[in-house]
Chains A and B, each alone.
Chain A
Amino acid sequence: MKRLLLMAAAFAALAGPAAAVNPDEQLRDPRLEARAHELSRTLRCVVCQNQSIDDSDAALAHDLRVILRERIAAGDTDRQAVDYIVARYGSFVELKPPVQGDTLILWFGPLALTLLGGAGIALHLRRRARLAAEPFTADEEAELAHLLNSDAPKTGTLKSGGPA
């Protein structure tokens, strides 16, 4: 059902199917056009909300594509051209959110989680490794030999416990 919603979403706000840039909007200089094309993919269409202005057929998205190309043709840097639109519609239009107070977790949370998780696992394993460092019993040696040569389940070692 997810995709279904997405599709209906994409189309609810549009008169016709989605269809990006028109030939008459494009800049003559292919290098500038490529820059504008790339930039317009990072800006969100405010009317349809789920698409970049590059993908959207909404009239406002068309206007913003044209404005973006005007700014680029006038010599703006990428950042300046984007800021021109952000000044009018807010950082909401940036599909890549700015790094600021309330997006710190968004940008650095995954890295922090990796480090924290990695450290936690390392501690846990070190503690357990000390236990495992004791020499194997004959049974365990046999089990190891068995495991090395097979992928059969070894359920015998499964321990169960009850609430303390």
Chain B
Amino acid sequence: MAAEVGQFALILALLLATVQAGATLWGAHRRESVLMALGRSAAALQAGFVILAFACLAYGYVVCDFSLALVAEHSHTAQPLPYRFAATWGSHEGSMLLWVLILAVYGGGVALFGRTLRETLQARVLGVQGLIGVAFLAFILFTSNPFLRLDPAPIEGTELNPLLQDPGLVSHPPMLYLGYVGFSVAFSFAMAALIEGRVDAAWARWVRPWVLAAWIPLTIGITLGSLWAYYELGWGGWWFWDPVENASLMPWLLGTALLHSALVLERRGALVSWTILLAILTFSLSLVGTFLVRSGVLTSVHAFAVDPRRGVFILAIIGVTTGAALGLYGWRAPSIRSGALFQPLSREGGVILNNLFLCVLCATVFLGTFTPLFAELTGDKISVGPPYYSWVFAPFAVPLLALLVFGPMLNWKRDELAKTVARVRVPAGIAALVFLLVAVFAGLGHAVAAAGLALAAWLLAGSAAILVRRWWSGRAYLGRSILTTPRALVGLAIAHAGLGLLTLGITGVTSWHQDKVLNMRPGATTTFAGRTLTMTALEDVQGPNWQARQARFSVRGPGGTYELVSQRRFYPSAQQQTTEAGIHVTPLGNLYLSEGDESAEGVVIRLWSHPLVVWIWIGGFTMALGGAVSLSDRRLRVGALVKAPQLQPVAAE
């Protein structure tokens, strides 16, 4: 019954999305308030019905309704409850429904909370959102219906891939989708601006928080994904440059560029048409990322069954969405005037340089991901893997990180070189000191590692310097100066410091990682990376839906004595084997141990030492935290603006 309700709710949502798009766009064109109000209600109602449809599917999973084909394919009664629920988005159809759910909720958000916007602008944003909704609801209903029934219903379902039965599945996809789909709002704002042919203060003030609201979960999602792969895949890699990973990195890179250019637009009214272009491209890359990996175009052997009909549908959606947007851009953008003037050496100039580097990095990932496809058109077969990225990505990423400290030190509009350099002399001194210390203690053979650590120190000290500089200028009233520091500035410092931590982690693990593989028996001892490991037991254990061969170790090392356990699990109903690595995490480095095959010589044990690796994820989460702090500032400021008449943002129509 629930499935039929869900199916019906989806059909209603499609109709409502059509009404939403039609009523708002026509209403805005004719300036009919009634029509625009109708569109707003449709957007809110559409969100309600998609939530209902999603709830129906989730209910089917939770109660194990195997008469639903999708549930029977991805769930099992022995599967623990959180994973039965998370399995809702563990399939192609379910993840599409989650995608549309988030889109509808964002649309509903614009309808309900966008009252401070000019009515026609809000209506046009909702109209574009409605059109995207129509496309994807139709995609779900016509090619990927999640509510198909099985008759007769099987008594038991097929278990979800055991690798996916992990807290990672519960949190990673929703975060990633919040990010991808969140960029649709910036896209809709860009489209509305192009339709209107004008950009006003309210537009500028709305875009950045929405970009930030998408960028934060995307950052968290990518970081969670990296962390999940690290502990679950069983060999301790944290980034693989796989097409599916690149698909999330590309919108992140452009989204980061957009975040910065939107800042210039918000503060100075400059970079208008560039920001619009970035908003279009960021969401387009989200679409390409989410969907092209499902169409079978790329050699990413993935779990979702490839259906050529889906591929064509998806390509059509991308073609129409991005094609229409870029066409409209080519037509209308030349007439949108950009306001404020600035000198090359200024905060604005810094952001432009930041955008250039981020776009080049995004282009690098794009070329790496799609060149195999382009080469195939000429009949050639090539692979682009990690060695390419270390040759081409890194040389552009490092200068960006090095220049990044200068950005927030620059004044808006114009600045002087000598003064700018003087402002960063303390971070530069700290970085030089770190370089010398590492080079002296680790030897000149570690010059690259020393440079990496110096870069991390430069970023961390540079971030601290942003706050110190502000507090120092108000040192007469230090307490008040600290309290009144805008949260956006604090957020900026935190996010940039996150990059410093990320650099620290990457440098540590790439410069000093070690590995070792050997056969061991219970009682055997080995030394590795300054630690002594003794296998204390090799035993069988039983879990809720798995059996495992478990190896236990006692480890003596710099951090004292601790136990480490690795399992090789077998999931009988899924007929699959997985490895649960034993990982000892410390700020200085992880010991990673995974159990392999058993033979007459004992059991294969693989050991990895990953120095400083944990800072990679701490850095990622810190960046997201910085975004969140900055976003909390915006909300206050939007409220404050309404009270401040001299900054009244809404142009009288």
Contact = CB atoms under 8 A, between A and B. Distances in A.
Contact of A155 (B269, B290, B378, B387): B269
User: Which 5 pairs, one residue from A and one from B, show the smallest C-beta to C-beta distance?
Assistant: A95-B385, A8-B303, A158-B269, A161-B337, A96-B387
B368 interface: yes
A7 B367 contact: no
Contacts of A149: 473
B374 interface: yes
5 contacts: A3-B228, A17-B577, A21-B517, A94-B383, A158-B268
Interface stretch (B109-117, B126-134, B193-201): B193-201
Interface string B398-430: 000000000000011110000000000000000
Contacts of A157: 268-269, 339-340
A16 B234 CA distance: 11
A44 B245 contact: no
A135 interface: no
A162 B198 contact: yes
Tell me which of A92, A148, A158 has the highest count of chain B C-beta atoms within 10 A of its own C-beta. Answer: A158
A135 B488 CA distance: 31
Interface string B268-300: 110000000000000000000110010000011
Contacts of A4: 90, 164, 169, 172-173, 303
A3 B604 contact: no
Given A2-B176, A19-B604, A160 B200 contact: yes
A1 interface: yes
Contacts of B349: 125
Interface of A: 1-13, 15-24, 26, 41-42, 44, 48-50, 52, 55, 90-98, 102-103, 105-107, 109-110, 113-114, 117-118, 121-122, 125-126, 128-129, 131-132, 144, 147-149, 151-164
A13 B161 CA distance: 14
Contacts of A105: 367, 371
A79 B647 CA distance: 66
A26 to B, nearest CB: 7
B211 to A, nearest CB: 16
B29 interface: no
Contacts of A163: 197, 332, 335
A5 B302 contact: yes
Contact of B268 (A1, A5, A154): A154
B360 interface: yes
Interface of B: 89-90, 95, 161, 163-164, 168-169, 172-173, 176-177, 197-201, 204-205, 225-226, 228-229, 232-235, 237, 240, 242, 244-245, 247-248, 266-269, 289-290, 293, 299-304, 332, 335-344, 349, 352-353, 356-357, 359-361, 363-364, 367-368, 371, 374-375, 378, 380-388, 391-392, 396, 411-414, 473, 486, 488-489, 517-519, 568, 576-579, 594, 596-597, 601, 604, 606, 637, 647, 649, 651
Given A1-B173, A129-B344, A103 B371 contact: yes
B240 A6 contact: yes
A103 B382 contact: yes
Given A8-B302, A102-B374, A92 B382 contact: yes
Contacts of B413: 144, 147
A22 B267 contact: no
Given A4-B164, A110-B396, A117 B332 contact: no
B186 to A, nearest CB: 18
Contact of B411 (A23, A95, A109, A148): A148
B342 A132 contact: yes
Contacts of B225: 2-3
Contact of B387 (A17, A24, A95, A129): A95
Contacts of A5: 244, 293, 300, 302-304
Given A7-B163, A149-B473, A160 B301 contact: no
A42 to B, nearest CB: 5
Given A17-B234, A23-B518, A132-B343, A3 B301 contact: no
A94 B391 CA distance: 14
B105 to A, nearest CB: 18
B385 A2 contact: no
B302 A6 contact: yes
Contacts of B519: 23
B234 A106 contact: no
B132 to A, nearest CB: 18
Contact of B161 (A8, A44, A96): A8
A95 B384 contact: yes
B367 A106 contact: yes
B235 A2 contact: no
B647 A155 contact: yes
Contact of B594 (A19, A21, A106, A156): A19
A36 to B, nearest CB: 13
A52 to B, nearest CB: 7
Contacts of A97: 371, 382-384, 388
B191 to A, nearest CB: 15
B364 to A, nearest CB: 5
A130 B161 CA distance: 63
A68 B477 CA distance: 68
A23 B517 contact: yes
Contacts of A18: 233-235
A121 B367 contact: no
B247 A2 contact: yes
Contacts of B385: 42, 44, 52, 95-96
Contacts of B299: 49-50
Contacts of B489: 151
A13 B576 CA distance: 12
A18 B597 CA distance: 11
A162 B333 CA distance: 10
Given A117-B359, A163-B332, A151 B176 contact: no
A19 B234 contact: yes
A155 B352 contact: no
Contact of A164 (B302, B335, B371, B579): B335
Contact of A22 (B161, B359, B604): B604
Contact of A3 (B244, B269, B304): B244
Contacts of A91: 381-382
